[in-house]
Amino acid sequence: MKKNTFVIFILIVLLLTASLTFANSENTESVKYGFWSVIPPLLAIVLAFITKEVILSLLIGVFSGAVINVFATSNSNFFMKIIESYTKTFEYPVNALADSWHAGIIIFTLTIGGLVGVIAKMGGTRAIANALAKKAKTPRSAQLVTTLMGVVVFFDDYANTLIVGPTMRPLTDKLKISREKLSYIVDSTAAPVATMAAISTWIGYELGLISDAFNSLGTSVNPYNVFFKSIPYRMYGLFALFMVFMVGLLLRDFGPMYDAEKRARLTGKVLADNAEPMLSTDFEKELDNSNVPLKISNALIPILTLIIFAFIGLWYSGGGIEKPFNLEGIRNAFGDADASAALIWASALASIIAIIMAVSQGIMTLRKALEAWVEGAKSLVITTIILILAWSIGSIATDLGTADYLVKIVSSSFPGWLIPALVFILSSIVAFATGTSWGTMAIMLPLAIPLAAAYTGNEPSTLVFATLGAVLTGSTFGDHCSPISDTTIMSSMASSADHIDHVKTQLPYAITAASIAIIGYLLVGIGVPIWISLIIGFSSILAILRFFGKSTNPKDLKEEMQ
């Protein structure tokens, strides 16, 4: 009740303040929203943490953006502005869904859900869990295997989350690893890996931005060389990957994650009592009392079909047939690929293969197999709603100029050695507020590269590479831990975790890696070689886990309870 009262109070204050602030505004495209541009994402994020009602919080964020926009640009009276705000609120989700890329991701997500539903009903995921359990018999080995699998599926962050999460969940559940930990592993090996992979759905976009940024300076560079030279300076991504490996290897956690792991180890509850997982796994429980033969092939063949044809689809949709069949040609094809279309082709084909296998083995009739597919897709409806609303918040942030405002409030008059650290912090803030790493990269690179290059005569240098890496990895960090980010949402969904629980438990780890990255950028700025900065960063992570982390080894936890 108190939470609902708080939400109503916030809305009333927002409406009254907006009406007073923009009372004399004229209907013009040059409205300066200022701090108001930050309100929609900030409100959605704060309310999500307070109420744990993600859909309601995002919807209120969208409504607040519509209110600000309408009150600033409309000449109607107060009550008509309220009506206009209400109608405009629903324009954003419609426009978000009308975007071909977003529509493709929705279809891909639902198709993956259907595929998972069929594989689960065939006993495929349970068979993989049982097989892996023979090798990964402890929480340590299970976490390391999950992390390794996340690194192996490097070509796309969406595909990564939707393959690794459902595949590894039965194993992690069996070994009493919390869903919060699983979603953290999935999230930490998705975008941080894809953004640095030589062949991925990210590289074309990043190369285009790099090329444009240097062309604006009148400097000719090889974007591939610049891309690879920036990798050592992607400190957050490198530290985040190292941290997720070390957390699993050392079996040490801190903050809310420790509490989640302690609960899972001692009670077997992989979810908190009040958790609301974003993906229902009730259909998997039917296997407990069934006679379905558990065959690894029933999961392995559809999943390999998905991965192999995702690669082929990305290559084909990027014009691979017309490009030379070598490393550079394949890389160019991936960069030009329509990732959403390619992933739909692959997931649809994998679904067809899974259904054929289920029917041919007599495990299900065709009708039952199709029902299993639909049931799996239906389990992701909530996720698709959240994705659409998150994209809507991103559109509002664009309309109100949220990112531009955040960039402008930071002064550009500072010494060169501070540039990488400040650019990383600003990129992180923009990505966290808008929920998009790609959008942040597009905003920040044209500003940051010329700023750094001005100190070196517009020539590529350590400062330029460090600043480039800071933008790319800072965008990843903000997107990585933002509750309104699509990849964060999909990680919660793929792991069948409570979304806010995932964000709360992951945030301390992400902030730790980011804080160490800031120190690393400061060291690079004053002339410390990058390899020394990386060694200091990796050592700091080990020290933090050793001295601040607590053991989640089942034996240690039981001794602690005694």
Residue pair 92/68 in contact (Cβ under 8 Å)? The answer is no
**Confidence check: pLDDT of 393 > 50:** yes
Task: Pick the more confident residue, 329 or 357.
Answer: 357
Task: Pick the more confident residue, 374 or 160.
Answer: 374
Residue 518: pLDDT band with limits 50, 70, 90 = very high
Contacts of 78 (CB under 8 A, 6+ apart): 19
Residue 203: pLDDT band with limits 50, 70, 90 = low
Task: Pick the more confident residue, 144 or 154.
Answer: 144
Residue 1: pLDDT band with limits 50, 70, 90 = very low
Residue pair 75/527 in contact (Cβ under 8 Å)? The answer is no
Closest CA to 164 of 140, 188, 199, 141: 188
Task: Pick the more confident residue, 6 or 53.
Answer: 53
Distances (CA, A) of 486 to 382, 493, 535: 13, 10, 32
The tens digit of pLDDT for each residue in 356-365 reads: 998 998 888 8
Q: Residue 83: its pLDDT value, please?
A: 86
**Confidence check: pLDDT of 4 > 60:** no
Q: What is the mean pLDDT of residues 492-502?
A: 89
Task: Pick the more confident residue, 101 or 201.
Answer: 101
> For 328, phi and psi rounded to 5 degrees?
-65, -40
- Please state the separation of Cα 511 from the chain's center in Å: 15
% pLDDT > 70, the chain? 84
Lowest mean pLDDT, pick from 23-37, 80-94, 209-223: 23-37
Give the DSSP per-residue string, 47-59. Answer: HHHHH--HHHHHH
Contacts of 410 (CB under 8 A, 6+ apart): 422, 426
Average pLDDT over the chain reads: 81
Closest CA to 191 of 357, 4, 402, 438: 438
Q: What is the mean pLDDT of residues 161-170?
A: 82
Residue 291: pLDDT band with limits 50, 70, 90 = low
The tens digit of pLDDT for each residue in 262-277 reads: 999 988 899 988 888 8
Q: Give the DSSP letter of residue 303.
A: H
Residue 246: pLDDT band with limits 50, 70, 90 = very high
pTM: 0.75
Residue 459 CB coordination number (10 Å):
11
The tens digit of pLDDT for each residue in 435-455 reads: 778 777 877 777 788 778 777
Give the DSSP per-residue string, 220-278. Answer: ---HHHHHHHHGGG-HHHHHHHHHHHHHHHHTEE-THHHHHHHHHHHH--SS-TT--BS
Residue pair 125/372 in contact (Cβ under 8 Å)? The answer is no
**Confidence check: pLDDT of 226 > 70:** yes
**Confidence check: pLDDT of 418 > 90:** no
Residue pair 128/172 in contact (Cβ under 8 Å)? The answer is no
Distance separating alpha carbons of residues 129 and 108, to the nearest angstrom: 24
Residue 256: pLDDT band with limits 50, 70, 90 = very high
